[in-house]
């Protein structure tokens, strides 16, 4: 269903949402400048990601020297799967918000390449880059921003639920973590489609953006929430495969690692001043890993290795997504030419 939106400052297209570019019209000077700005932004965030990778590379390889290569490879694969599952949840939300369907290939390019902006201090850059990449693909910025906003809320609530798996370790190291029991029921209540739709429209109104064109339903909320839960599970498997290589965590450690990743990533999300929550995420990981039987040195090493693998996974999935989107875009042209 095509919806009409209110133009927002900076839009360079007619008010009809998701109007696809013709590809034949000559680009205006403004459009060419925006293209250059997008490429500069992408190169900038890739540079920050590469810097983050290089700063921890020596310690990363030193840690992996004690880990079987099979465990390292499977750990990276689990991490990439978690990212791809999360993208599916994001795509479900964006497709529900009206306009032409995004499609997984194009959606992954917008979501993953844009997400690299989190490596620039101030995580707001990820959302700005996603909106610009979406605009380049013919999608309204408001639609991309709204999808990312709703996914953030769902991700936080699902992380709070999953974090209960690490409750014993969290409470023994930080009694103040009892606030989880207060936030979880409140968060789950806020996931009711009517409340979530009202809250999202309110935030959009405050940001001077159009409200939701269509209320959220149980189907889309449960799909996106399930995708977030699945992503936490795979991230926990990623950490467990590293830690289990030294023979300490076992099955109970797997449960703790899943909860630990949910806590760590959520804390990192709200440490928006730091690039990708640097430092904050590792504190939560170390606290849970030490409770599962690892020494502080081992836990710290695996936390650093996890951060580097996250950067590698982000770069690989973003690169694959960009390539897949280009291939998918060429197929219609090849069919028309035939």
Q: Is 16 helix (H, G, I), strand (E, B) or coil?
A: strand
Q: How far apart are CA 239 and CA 209, in angstroms?
A: 39
The pTM (predicted TM-score) of the whole model is: 0.75
Taking alpha carbons only, the member of 188, 216, 192 closest to residue 93 is 216
**pLDDT string in tens for the chain (338-residue length):** 444 444 444 444 433 455 444 444 566 665 555 555 555 556 655 665 566 556 555 565 566 666 777 888 899 999 999 999 999 999 999 998 877 888 888 889 899 888 887 777 666 778 888 888 888 888 888 889 889 889 988 998 998 888 888 776 666 655 565 666 677 888 889 899 999 999 888 888 887 877 887 888 999 999 999 999 999 999 999 988 888 776 666 677 788 888 888 877 776 565 544 444 455 667 777 777 776 667 777 777 777 788 888 888 988 898 888 888 777 767 655 544 54
Q: How far apart are CA 235 and CA 291, in angstroms?
A: 18
Taking alpha carbons only, the member of 325, 336, 306 closest to residue 82 is 306
Q: How far apart are CA 187 and CA 181, in angstroms?
A: 10
pLDDT value at residue 185 = 87
Give the CA dihedral 281, 187, 130, 213, nearest 10 degrees. 180
Residue-range domain boundaries for the chain: 68-103+142-328
Q: What is the DSSP letter of 99?
A: S
Which two three-digit tokens encode residue 112? 């993953």
């Amino acid at each position: 269903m095509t919806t009409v939106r209110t133009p927002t400052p900076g839009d360079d297209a007619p008010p009809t949402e998701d109007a696809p570019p013709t590809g034949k019209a000559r680009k205006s000077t403004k459009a060419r400048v925006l293209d250059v700005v997008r490429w500069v932004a992408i190169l900038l965030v890739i540079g920050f990601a590469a810097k983050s990778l290089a700063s921890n590379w020596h310690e990363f390889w030193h840690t992996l020297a004690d880990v079987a290569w099979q465990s390292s490879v499977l750990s990276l694969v689990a991490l990439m799967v978690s990212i791809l599952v999360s993208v599916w949840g994001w795509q479900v939300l964006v497709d529900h918000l009206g306009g032409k369907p995004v499609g997984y290939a194009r959606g992954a390019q917008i979501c993953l390449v844009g997400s690299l902006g989190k490596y620039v201090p101030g995580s707001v850059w990820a959302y700005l880059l996603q909106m610009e990449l979406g605009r380049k693909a013919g999608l309204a910025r408001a639609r991309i921003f709204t999808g990312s906003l709703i996914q953030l809320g769902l991700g936080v609530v699902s992380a709070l639920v999953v974090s209960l798996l690490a409750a014993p370790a969290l409470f023994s190291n930080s009694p103040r973590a009892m606030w989880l029991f207060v936030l979880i029921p409140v968060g789950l209540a806020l996931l009711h489609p009517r409340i979530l739709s009202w809250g999202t429209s309110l935030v959009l109104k405050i940001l001077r953006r159009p409200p939701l064109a269509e209320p959220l339903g149980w189907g889309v909320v449960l799909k996106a929430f399930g995708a977030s839960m699945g992503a936490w599970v795979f991230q926990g498997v990623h950490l467990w495969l590293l830690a289990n290589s030294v023979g300490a965590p076992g099955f109970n450690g797997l449960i703790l690692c899943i909860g630990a990743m949910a806590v760590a990533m959520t804390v990192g999300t709200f440490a928006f001043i730091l690039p990708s929550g640097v430092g904050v995420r590792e504190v939560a990981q170390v606290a849970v890993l030490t409770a599962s039987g690892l020494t502080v040195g081992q836990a710290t090493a695996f936390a650093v290795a996890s951060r580097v693998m996250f950067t590698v996974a982000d770069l690989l999935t973003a690169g694959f997504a960009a390539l897949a989107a280009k291939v998918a875009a060429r197929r219609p042209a090849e069919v028309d030419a035939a």
